[in-house]
Structure 1
Amino acid sequence: MFANMLVKSALLASFAISATNAIATITTLGNKFFDSDGNQFFMKGVAYQLTEKDPLINEDQCKLDASLMKDLGANTIRVYHVDASGDHDGCMSAFSDAGIYLLVDLDTFNTAINPIVASWNQTQFERYSAVMDAFANYDNTMGFFVGNEVVALNNQSLAAPYVKAAARDLKAYRNSKNYREIPVGYSAADIAELRPMLQNYLACGTNSSESIDMFGLNAYEWCGDVNLQTSGYDTLNTYAKSLNIPIFFSETGCNTNRPRTFDDQSAILGPDMNDNWSGAIVYEWIQEANTYGLISYGSTVAATAVATNVQGGFSIAGTPTPVSPDFSNLQAQWKTLTPSGVQSSTFTPSITAPACPASTSGGWLVDGDVKLPSVGETEVTGTATATATATTSGTVSATGTAASASATGKKGGANTNGGKEVAGMAVGLAGVMVGFIYWL
């Protein structure tokens, strides 16, 4: 009897704690995000990696960063790599208390889908689902990515069915575990020849269980003194109008013109775009060699210096100090941008899924609604000069002509990924390209 009372007391105490720390959950309806109170949700986010392993296990650091992010006006972070076995309770609580949601990539350095030898296998599935298990029960987890810039060149689109297969299987896993319907999506490189085919392909088809729930675009086109038309955002906006799922900038913040004024935020979160777009993630929180940082943790040292919490000459922990004037410029932008959107109770989705695009001579190589690969299938997609076709069974076959990416203003070249993952991903992909037998 006494033991039962203790158990009940513990459960009540746990419920009280979770209720105190509760934050409205985010879901999708049509092409918009809504919180569980019915308010449309717009991202004002920052990319947050800090280390190449997992920035969400250092509770003290998360508390410091979350506090300053709240002052900045941020409501979302994006994290590229995490350790599924880590203890994330403290960090997730710190960000929840600050009103900040999480977008997290499911892949690890050695399980990302490789566009050269595209594969979706049991090892990848298990690693992705482990990350989902680790974060699905936090109320402020708002979305998962099954890939980041997998298709990073205009001849790599034959990898897209593998991205879509990953989304299909992770959505099915989410549902089998009775997790809430946290959106599963993809973060794309901005490749001119693949617009709008890539976004439409990942969302197309009559079976919604096989399509992504949200689409993020890593775009660095708004550079310096430009506007909606001269930046190219008007073209992106036109493509977004026909998309039936939420679309947002999963990375943005060109730094070729200094200081950064973040004028693109007034377009993204203003009346020209906010009916079609759901906000943006600014790249990035921590200052490092690429000089995209909004804060620093201390003075730089020699790039070869070996010290605790120092990587490449930059501190990766400590008291965050705003980088001037970038931090205050973004803060000033976000203070003036408060799109109200619509209420979920009055919103009726009217956009249907796009048609699956046909292949083109300019780079899109997937022809229509091809059959998605099952777990264990592998396809060599990045060699030589054949054109893409679909076999009679509908599976993807053939390869594309090698070419360079067309993204402009990109932070690290055509084939980089976000944040601190760049170096590790390069090593991982090189290993896969040499031999992927360890996956089988």
Structure 2
Amino acid sequence: MDLILTGLVLLILLFAFLAAGVWVALALAGVALVGLLAFSNAPAGLVLATTFWGHSHSWSLAALPLFILMGEVLLRSRLSQDMFSGLAPWLGRLPGRLLHVNVLGCAIFAAVSGSSAATAATIGRMSVPELEGRGYPQGLVIGTLAGSATLGLLIPPSIILIVYGVATEQSIARLFVAGILPGLMLVALFSGYVALRAWMDPDLIPPRGDRLPYLQRLKASRSLIPVAALILGVIGSIYTGLASPTDAAALGVVLAVILAFATGGFSWALLGQAMMAATRTSAMIAFILLGAAFLSVAMGFTGIPRALAAWIGEMGLSPFALLAVLTVFFIVLGCFLDGISVVVLTTSIILPMVQAVGIDPLWFGIYLVIVVEMSQITPPVGFNLFVIQGLTGIDILRIAKAAFPFFLILLLGVALITIFPGIVTALPGAMGN
């Protein structure tokens, strides 16, 4: 129990650092340093140096800046516009019509960007003016964009899955494959909600325009070929075992640059901007990961994770009860921290508890990402809300209200993968080890 109290003291210290505006990485490292100096006999300086050095040249981590660069290149290309023109002709007869472009467009772009914020910015810049100009209700336009953009965290290549894999030493390739079926499930749930709203209130949706002949729709679909080629090149090479996630990320960058130049509207200046933006984002994430690694090692020296896992074990919580508690915990934490910070802040302490009750760490990674997706659309620190506010100028509380049904759908997604864990584990099981 003394170790549990020690953990509470360090947790309070961490929140004090964060409340004071200290960078997340420095807050993590600071708490780790205090833990080593005050509650262990380990040489703090030596542990810090060896941890930072040991975790700064991880080959798995090399995929992170490459996937970020790929997303930044696509963000500045015209592929998103081509995607809209390729999807729109086929969706006019569905209940909800072109609102499905937001859902499917976000799903497709998520599969080549790995970032929720980049997905919201890219698809929103293209779809919001187009859909509002055609008379679609603003609430549904904004809600479908905010909710569907969260798929950027789950559908591979997901940046946050790379972070989880590095932090927990799980196979990134298996995590990527595990995210495919849950991602498709959420796409189906989001589209189902749009169709249900349109069916319940047909006056919400503008009347259908002239139907294009089949050959014209097929011709418009040619603009989807570059994006489809990129998805198949990246995800297909990982699933078939032809490439590691890092190799696939390098392939994705090369293909993204070639396609961006080939489709027009891209320049060397924009490529330079993409590289600078990717460098800043990658450095920020790497800095957080180093701080989290130091905290994880420091907690090991103090013995707090083992004591916490033993304490939870003595409480006799079932896996379902533990997941219910953790879901509330992560949602509350996600109201104040971004998704990557939530993952690196909690995994070193939570994972021993999870494994103690027999939960598969691979399944838990997908569960954690879906719960973190909820935090992207919850105020006050919902990143997707801020991105959409920047695009539209709409008050953030109105955006949060529009996104609330999709928050509930994500909660339903958590319930479904909990009841049917095979949704997560089936494809990785088919891959073997």
TM-score bracket, shorter-length normalisation: under 0.3
User: Which protein is richer in helix relative to its size?
Assistant: 2
Report the TM-score, using the length of structure 1 for normalisation. Answer: 0.22
User: Which protein is richer in strand relative to its size?
Assistant: 1
Report the TM-score, using the length of structure 2 for normalisation. Answer: 0.22
Question: Taking CA–CA contacts closer than 8 Å with sequence separation of 6 or more, which of the two structures ends up with the larger relative contact order?
Answer: 2
